[in-house]
Amino acid sequence: MNYTVPRLQKGDTVGLVALSSRVEPEKLGAAIAFLEKLGLHAIVGDTIQGRHRYFAGSDEERLADLHAMIRRPEVKAIFCVRGGYGAARLADKIDYGLLAEHPKIFWGFSDVTYLHCAIQKYANIVTFHGPMLMTSTPLDELSKKMFGQLFMPMEIQYTEAISPLTAIANGVARGQLVGGNLSRLVNTLGTKFDIQTEGKILLIEDIAEPIPRIDVMLQQLKQARKLEQLAGVVIGSFTQIEADEEALHALMAEYFANLGIPVVAGFQIGHSTPNIAIPLGVDALLDAQQKVLKILPGVH
């Protein structure tokens, strides 16, 4: 299990960075206002204004922004404000020892999945899979509520009170919760950041990937032997896939139903509204019969 990170206190300073695609800084006002409502003081990294091809600054500029936020002792959390592509280009240049010495909340999802894998492996700290602060639509109330887990250690219990859940395969499993965006998890294969799945509960989610493409990615995970020793599977949001839920569940069953582990689909985790934020790298319990996912706190 990875180490939990220090919780936030009202009045704390947090940093906003763009480690992937470039952003529209004029749209940052809502994000800053939300953080201020939480009692936090937000500082804006250089990458928010950064421009380099389709990135929020060059690799060197984005890396420098991340390192600056890690080094600043007053910065207690780092929020990635948007995804896209570019995080993987930084992974082999990040000073993970620096982050391990100065552990702090690291938050984001989608393209940031690559860095979740890297940070958990080389800095050995919990990270947070949660909605970006710059979104095309305002954050809904439930997604906003999930930021509360950063201020107080709390166990997250996801049941059908949040969304309908479907058991693809029955069983109960305990294990470390890992994963995130399926495309980016597959991108880690064959690298020193490749997703570690042995004995783990794997979360997968994605957006705008048709069923054949999802099949390709699951097949690659299978042939990379990442499915052989899983403890369980949490299937998050698969949105804009141009197929119905039945087709998605049939594909998931083909890959996961005969592994003898619990597999549950329908979690609003990922590219969805709400987008339920969860810590990665902590122990979790997945019970397919009761349709519940319990996750230990990510902060202390």
Q: Is the whole model's pTM more than 0.95, yes or no?
A: yes
DSSP state of 59: H
Tell me which residue range forms the domain holding 72.
Answer: 13-150
Whether residues 128 and 213 share a domain: the answer is no
Task: Give the pLDDT confidence of 156-188 residue by residue, as tens digits.
Answer: 999 999 999 999 999 999 999 999 999 999 999
Say which residues have a Cβ less than 8 Å from residue 243's Cβ, sequence separation at least 6.
210, 211
Say which residues have a Cβ less than 8 Å from residue 130's Cβ, sequence separation at least 6.
107, 108, 109, 143, 146, 147, 275, 277, 278
**Residue 6 domain-assigned (yes or no):** no
Active-site annotation holder among 20, 116, 129, 205: 205
Q: Are strands 156-158 and 75-80 parallel, antiparallel or unpaired?
A: unpaired
Task: Give the pLDDT confidence of 116-155 residue by residue, as tens digits.
Answer: 999 999 999 999 999 999 987 889 999 999 999 999 999 9
| Domain endpoint, select from 105, 124, 150 | 150
Q: Whose CA is closest to 185, among 274, 299, 249, 280?
A: 280
Whether residues 223 and 268 share a domain: the answer is yes
**Residue 176 domain-assigned (yes or no):** yes
26 is catalytic: no
Whether residues 40 and 143 share a domain: the answer is yes
Which CATH number does the domain housing residue 84 bear? Answer: 3.40.50.10740
67 is catalytic: no
Token pair for residue 242? 């141009």
254 is catalytic: no
**Residue 1 domain-assigned (yes or no):** no
Whether residues 40 and 123 share a domain: the answer is yes
pLDDT at residue 269 greater than cutoff 90: yes
Active-site annotation holder among 183, 237, 271, 272: 271
Mean pLDDT, residues 240-253 taken together:
95
Active-site annotation holder among 20, 110, 143, 183: 110
Mean pLDDT, residues 209-238 taken together:
98
**Residue 197 domain-assigned (yes or no):** yes
Q: How confident is the model at residue 93 (pLDDT cuts 50, 70, 90)?
A: very high
Whether residues 171 and 139 share a domain: the answer is no
CA–CA separation, 291 and 169 (whole Å): 11
| Domain endpoint, select from 150, 168, 183 | 150
Whether residues 94 and 113 share a domain: the answer is yes
